[in-house]
Amino acid sequence: MKRLLQKFLTKQFILFVLVGIINTLFAYGVFAFFIFINLHYTLASLLQLILGVLFNFKTTGKVVFNNNDHKLIGRFFAVYILIYGLYLAGLKIFNIFEISNYIAGAILLPPLSLLTFLLQKEFVFKNKTA
């Protein structure tokens, strides 16, 4: 367990978590702004997703992985599609056992965050690290 913690509790992983918090605040701010100016929630959500992924790509790439290569956006987006699919599958499994979506989401967050970090480190931004 200690070895596993040492593997993940690196400066890079801590930056990943901190940047993730900033990205979440940015995405919610974008969504809230579009709701405030009376856009329909579906359009607000779509614009939040697009702008959020682009912002996340730039901040994660530059701050966490010291990589500013725009050509990696396809891989970055593919990771998010995979994680989203795994998240939905996880929610479905928990729903079969009648576990609350709130609890299921909280349970799924840590392993999917770790998987996101690993995939971004090894698949998206593999050539350069901080």
3-state percent helix, strand, coil for the chain, nearest multiple of 5: 85, 0, 15
Q: How far apart are CA 27 and CA 48, in angstroms?
A: 6
Element (H, E) at 89: helix 73-96
* Amino acid identity at 20: G
**Is the pTM above the cut of 0.75?**
yes
Q: How far apart are CA 127 and CA 31, in angstroms?
A: 33
Task: Give 9-56 pLDDT, tens digit per residue.
Answer: 899 999 999 999 999 999 999 999 999 999 999 999 999 999 999 999
Domain boundaries, the chain: 2-124
